[in-house]
Amino acid sequence: MGLPLAVTLLIMLSMSSAQMMSQIMAQVKITDAPYPVANAEQLNQVVWTMHGTPTKEAIYCVSEAPVSQLRFVCTDCLEKNITDMVNVLNSAQDITRRVGFPAVTLKDIAVNTNWTGATIMCQAALNGGTVDSSPATVDVRYLRQPHVVDSNGQSPVLIGNQGYRFFVECVRGADGLCQQSGRRKTLKCDVQSNPPATQYRWLKNGSPSGTGAEITIGTEMIGQSIQCQANNGLHDESNMPLSQAVQIDPYSSAKLLKDNFQKLQSTSPFLASNRIEMNQQVNMGCEVEGNPRPIVYWRMRKPNGDVVDAACPQGLEGQYQELPPEGGRSANIVRLTALCSLRISNYSYSGQYWCAACSQVSQGEPECSPSLETPGTSSLNVQVIGAPSNSDAPPSIEQRGNDATVLVHYCAEPMPRPPREIVFSIDQNDLQVGQSWENFRFDSAVTNNTVPNCYIARLSISPVREEDQYRRIALKLQNQFGSKQIPVSMDALLGGDSAMVGRMPTFWMYILIGVAALLFVICIIAVCVRRRVKDHPDYNEPKTKANLNIHQENDYFEPPPNAPRLFAQHPPEVCDTAYGVYLSREAVV
């Protein structure tokens, strides 16, 4: 018995050793040519070059029998968030029959520039395990089309039906021509490539005009076009990629000529001290000029110092009226009037307004005069006046233990004056500032420092009671222009989402308990009456039937007085409705 077992173990050991030796001896390599694995050279770097979409290079995974199922795998694509390489690697073609040994190839594939730095290797199946090649790093080489940009990296302006435009400053002299004293403009040849571009060439009107990554131009380039070329060694010098053509036009900075602010503030609907009543219309206008066509931004500085866009269309979406050429103005200069119509609907319109004339000379931020953040010498000051109104902020509450303070926000100009123009009403009990009623006190009315012409009324509750959730509370306001009543929902502020029982006042609890007790007594009485009717059936049935039953009983079933009874006769029961219990007649007697 022992000898066959030893032989079996020896055979198994020899087979395992043979499998291990075959795995150790098997080789897998990534190469650039379909050579047998013994003659192939392992690639440490896989270079793919992008000329258009598919690559020209091909790579191979080669091995030797008895391996099978050769494939390319990416070891760090998940870590590098490269999602499209896996499908491409899985598309490798099996060329084993053609070359006579295990081999697969990848060629004419669409690569992505973000594959650079990824690690791939070739993997083969052998005896239920896998054999891996040495890793290789991917390097995708490319050069995209270059672009002409300004010194800030901003692209030229694209004008419909005219192409791309850059502008150089034109300071016109008495003869109407651009002077050389204007600021010069630096342009760059921007290109994305790997490896980085090392060769640049500039072309003016299609002819070579200089080298280097940057070029500086001035008024001498007005009316001409400019392009650039770049190369990183992937292209022939005679066939370097070329940028789009950019036309150079004169740039007369946009400027503000005049506005109607002073006229507005001296006429209706404005009152003294820049005041204006609610629901009035204000039509602002600014006359500007420049080349390219200027655009206008309307700005507003709030009383708290914040600068925001005014409530009217801005920039390219603004409302404009173009003025015809006149006098000695150059035909290249565009003059127009920008309009801004404001409907003064609330106190948020209070502030300082101005317009900024801007030139969009690139895809970046416009060049503006005056600044978008600071008004120039002319501006329009607006102080809205009117009846009290709600603020954008709803009533809120601050809770401290068993105490709370209700905050009610409101806006008004002029401010309602205590004590009579601002009152808290609590269940029709009016509280002026400083007054108290039960656990309520009207503490104060203070200025809201973040919103113009707005205030905060503070109502203290000490302590907070359960029934306070059902108080009818409102803030009543008035000034010379009108009045306003702002309701306060205490149910919502004090937790109106709680359970119904927890929200009930005490007197309602007493009423519900009394009603429940009354219903209980009525139910007991109804049960007693029903039981009594059951014990005493109705004898008012048809007389013939009743008489027949009586005679039959008398004639046939009436036992003698002293006859023995089969069952004990129980006394009839009565119901004591006061206590809801049943008693026998003997117990009652």
pLDDT at 503 over 50: no
pLDDT at 563 over 50: no
Predicted local distance difference test score (pLDDT) of residue 535 = 60
The confidence band for 484, taking pLDDT boundaries of 50, 70 and 90, is very high
Strand intervals (E) in 278-421: 281-291, 295-301, 307-309, 319-323, 334-343, 351-359, 367-369, 380-390, 396-400, 403-413
- Selected residue with higher pLDDT from 557 and 376: 376
10 lies in some domain: no
Among 387, 405, 430, the domain boundary falls at 387
Strand intervals (E) in 134-218: 136-143, 147-150, 157-159, 163-169, 171-172, 178-179, 185-190, 193-194, 199-204, 207-211, 214-217
Alpha carbons 380 and 344: distance in angstroms, whole number: 14
Nearest to 301 by CA among 187, 418, 379: 379
Predicted local distance difference test score (pLDDT) of residue 536 = 54
As a whole-number percent, the residues of the chain with pLDDT over 70 amount to: 82
The verdict on 352 and 263 lying in the same domain is yes
The strand pair at 225-231 and 246-259 is best described as antiparallel
The verdict on 370 and 413 lying in the same domain is no
Residue 323: domain span: 253-387
pLDDT at 17 over 70: no
pLDDT at 87 over 50: yes
Alpha helices, DSSP H only, in 498-573? 506-535, 543-552
| Residue carrying the six token digits 């127009």 | 336
pLDDT digits over 140-197, tens only?
A: 999 999 999 998 899 998 887 889 999 888 877 777 778 777 678 899 999 999 999 9
The verdict on 219 and 131 lying in the same domain is no
DSSP string, 19-54: HHHHHHH---EEESS---TTT----SEEEEEBSSSB
pTM: 0.58
555 lies in some domain: no
Predicted local distance difference test score (pLDDT) of residue 500 = 35
The verdict on 107 and 167 lying in the same domain is no
The verdict on 272 and 374 lying in the same domain is yes
Local structure of 493: helix, strand or coil: helix
Q: What is the CATH number of the domain that holds 438?
A: 2.60.40.10
Element of type H or E holding 250: strand 246-259
The confidence band for 562, taking pLDDT boundaries of 50, 70 and 90, is low
Alpha carbons 43 and 33: distance in angstroms, whole number: 10
- Selected residue with higher pLDDT from 407 and 540: 407
The confidence band for 52, taking pLDDT boundaries of 50, 70 and 90, is low
The strand pair at 58-62 and 103-107 is best described as antiparallel
pLDDT digits over 232-278, tens only?
A: 999 998 899 999 999 998 888 899 999 999 999 999 999 999 999 99
160 lies in some domain: yes
Predicted local distance difference test score (pLDDT) of residue 529 = 79
Alpha carbons 408 and 517: distance in angstroms, whole number: 44
pLDDT at 473 over 90: yes
Give how many domains the chain has, as a whole number: 4
Alpha helices, DSSP H only, in 147-222? none
Predicted local distance difference test score (pLDDT) of residue 564 = 47
Q: What is the mean pLDDT of residues 553-576?
A: 45
Q: What is the mean pLDDT of residues 217-229?
A: 93
557 lies in some domain: no
574 lies in some domain: no
Q: What is the CATH number of the domain that holds 161?
A: 2.60.40
Among 88, 113, 141, the domain boundary falls at 141
The confidence band for 14, taking pLDDT boundaries of 50, 70 and 90, is very low
- Collect contacts of 427-430 with beta carbons under 8 A, ≥24 apart: 427/471, 427/472, 427/473, 428/472, 430/476
The verdict on 280 and 355 lying in the same domain is yes
**Contacts of residue 344, Cβ cutoff 8 Å, sequence gap at least 6:** 276, 277, 278, 279, 280, 281, 282, 382, 384
pLDDT at 90 over 50: yes
- Selected residue with higher pLDDT from 540 and 311: 311
The verdict on 189 and 136 lying in the same domain is no
Predicted local distance difference test score (pLDDT) of residue 4 = 58
334 lies in some domain: yes
What are the structure tokens assigned to 227, written together? Answer: 């392009």
500 lies in some domain: no
pLDDT digits over 93-135, tens only?
A: 999 999 999 999 999 898 999 999 999 999 998 888 889 999 9
The verdict on 397 and 488 lying in the same domain is yes
What distance lies between CA 405 and its chain's CA centroid?
33
As a whole-number percent, the residues of the chain with pLDDT over 90 amount to: 58
Residue type, 399: Q
Local structure of 56: helix, strand or coil: coil
The verdict on 379 and 420 lying in the same domain is no
The verdict on 295 and 377 lying in the same domain is yes
pLDDT at 9 over 90: no
| Under 8 Å between Cβ of 29 and 40 | yes
Among 472, 494, 516, the domain boundary falls at 494
15 lies in some domain: no
**Which phi and psi (to 5°) does residue 347 adopt?**
-75, -10
The verdict on 321 and 395 lying in the same domain is no
The verdict on 420 and 488 lying in the same domain is yes
Predicted local distance difference test score (pLDDT) of residue 20 = 46
Predicted local distance difference test score (pLDDT) of residue 549 = 45
